[in-house]
Structures are given as structure tokens and as C-alpha cells.
Amino acid sequence: MRSNYLFTSESVSEGHPDKVADQISDALVDYFIGKDPEARVACETLVTTQRIVIGGEIRCRPVYDDERFKDTHGWAPGARDEIEQIVRHVVQRIGYEQDGFHWQTAIFENYLHGQSAHIAQGVDASGNKDEGAGDQGIMFGFACDETPDLMPATLHYSHKILERMAADRRSGAAPFLEPDAKSQVTLRFEDGKPAAAAVVVVSTQHGRGYDEGDKEAELHAYVKRVVADVIPAELLSDDTQYHINPTGSFEIGGPDGDAGLTGRKIIVDTYGGAAPHGGGAFSGKDPTKVDRSAAYVTRYLAKNVVAAGFARRCTIQLSYAIGVAEPLSLYVDLHGTEANGISAARLEEVLPTLVRLTPKGIRTHLGLNKPIYSPTAAYGHFGRKPEGDLFSWEKTDLVDALKAAV
């Protein structure tokens, strides 16, 4: 593993069009799971100029009943209206009240329908058959000791810059900001550890009149203050390069400036490119989909391995087949950073004894059959503070059992 290098990660704000789509999809996952903890949801969202389109498959008994589909389309009274209200509320909360995308006036189209019986038969438990995975695929989890949350530092700071700017926009501390924004942080690593911030890139949507008076200078000064508050002072210097709205004016943004789709920011959602990705998106999917639940449990296991002091970096992979309960493989990579005599092979033996890695076992251990997903849909699914039922996969409550087992 190289010791000295530059590495970069990016983040996008809650107002980025792809993240608008993710937040709508996950708000609907929460809606259906709130009605039925065993609901099946695969909800995709498209947003563009003054238009919001949702589609996909659901199974939620209080809301939609496949047996009645031909006669009534299966919708419980008021469900379609509730869904539209939820979607518009998400857009309102994000802050879009613009001519090109407005929470009240955007055209809304709903193409959700019942889940395929052929998918359901592979997932449902029956007789002696345990509940199977919702699809085939590979999932990765990762942790490293670069930040207190055991996340890659480049992604951590990229997220924090945009979170701070969104908070300032909402509080009125930065009234010139609009919802759409992107950030990118490049760190110089020495001996494998963050040593300096080499480049910071921030592009943010803003109100009218950017080219008037000192508004451009005001925005640049504001972004640099945010960066100074977020990135530790010892990493910043006169050599740090800044690129703030490098193309100039950024007035037209969000879905009016570019279409957004669910699941297009999977690297932003995970580890900023510092670890492999299985390719499956998370948002819009209920936890029977191992794209989501297995990615959460691999993060949980990797984080506990690093928190236990067994390695400075840990990557874990799981693989599944549709309709099959047990994972097909478990792989652990400690990247040459193992400590305390622990090997990856030993962890591969121990980890499945601590958490049952079937879809149902994962959901039960992490408490995933709850409406907990909306907060995951912006600023990353990992590196977040666990709070009650939220972000249970970020807990390090497995450390003592892990130490005892190995």
C-alpha cells in the first residue's frame, strides 16, 4: 500500500437533483414500512424541470392489495393523495420554490404498481424455506481510522462542508445560497495518514445578482470560512488551492438545471471512492434488498473490526443469490494494517457467528424494518451518528463480543 499520495472525494448537497430523487424514494420507503413493517418497496424517482415522476413495485397490505388490482388498482382510500403530499413535502423541505422547480406547482406522476409475483416467490419464506435475498449481487463495507467516525477523511470533510452550508441556508445565516451544491476535497497523505488539504472545490447555487457589486467576493469569502471551520487548521495552509464556483454564475440549479434519478450517487453515498462498491444503489429499496441491508451490515462489521483495534483499515465483501438466504461468500481484507495478531482468515470464521448474515438475520440484528431511511438519503449512509433506531449500523456495540470471540 502506498504511503504518500493525493486522494479526492466528492459530495453533493440535498438539493442536487439526484439527491432530490433519492430523498423522495426513501421518504416513500418510510411511508410504506410505516404502514407495514414487511412492505416490499422498489421505488424509482425522476425529477426534471417542473416534473416529478415515481415508479416501481410495492407490496404493502394496508395500501395496495394485488388480488384487487384488476378491479380497484389496489389503492387504499386516500393513499395516492398521501403519497403525493409526501413527495411535495420533501421538495418543500429541501427548499425548492423556483420557477423551474416548485414544490407546489411541479407536475407529479405516480406509476407505482404491485410487486412481481416471480420476485416475491424467491424472497418470501415458506415451509422449510427461509426468506431469500431479494436479488443476486455483491456488497462491500469499509472502515478506516482517518476520522473519529472511522470514515475516509476526504469524504468526511466533503460532506461536512455541504451540511454546514445547508444549515446556514436554512437558518438565514447565508441567505444568498440556494439548495443545489457540490463539494470536493483533495488531501495529501503522508505515511498513509492525512497531512494537508491540497485542493477544495465548492460549486453552489446562489440567488440572483451574483455578478453585481461584491456578491461574488462575499460568496467566496463565506465558503472559505466554512472550509476553515470544517477542515482542521493543521491541514490548511497558504498552499491550499480553492476553486469556488469555477464556471462563474450558478443561478439555474437543481432539477431545473439537470435531471435527477434515484441511485446515481452511490460513491457519495458510501466511501467516496476509497473502497470498492458492489454497484447497487440503496435509496428507494426496502431492507429485504441486500443491495441495501448487506451493505449496511458489512459497514457495521468493518467498523467494529477497526474500533476493536484489529486493523487500521478493513474492507468486507458479501455475495448473495436471489431467493437464497445464506450469503455465498464472505471476504475480509485488512490492507496490511492488521494488529494484535488478528488475521483476515480468522475474522472470516468469527464474524458470521456474531451476526447471522441472512437477509432476515441482518434486518433483525440492525432493526431495519422501521421507517428510518429518509435521513440516509443525503450526506452519506455511513459515518453518521447513531440515534435511537437511526443509523444502527454505525454502532460499535459488537466490539466486546468480537474481542472475546477471536
Active site (catalytic) residues? 16, 18-19, 44, 57, 182, 250, 258-259, 264-265, 285, 289, 291
Q: Which of 386, 241, 227, 210 is nearest to 299 (CA)?
A: 386
3-state class (DSSP) for residue 121: helix
| Separation of alpha carbons 123 and 120, rounded Å | 5
Size (the chain), residues: 406
Neighbour tally for 252: CB within 10 Å: 16
Cell of 105: 406547482
Q: Which of 156, 181, 157, 155 is nearest to 168 (CA)?
A: 181
For helices 17-35 and 79-94, angle between their N-to-C axes, nearest 10 degrees: 140
Neighbour tally for 94: CB within 10 Å: 23
| Separation of alpha carbons 377 and 264, rounded Å | 12
| Separation of alpha carbons 406 and 402, rounded Å | 6
| Separation of alpha carbons 215 and 217, rounded Å | 5
Using the structure block, give the residue that is written with the C-alpha cell 502506498.
Answer: 2
Residues 45 and 25: beta-carbon distance below 8 Å: yes
Neighbour tally for 320: CB within 10 Å: 26
Residues 106 and 27: beta-carbon distance below 8 Å: no
Phi-psi region of 361 (alpha: psi -120 to 50; beta: other; left: phi over 0): alpha
Q: How far is CA 60 from the centre of its chain?
A: 24
DSSP string, 26-40: HHHHHHHHHH-TT-E
Q: Which of 343, 282, 295, 255 is nearest to 142 (CA)?
A: 295
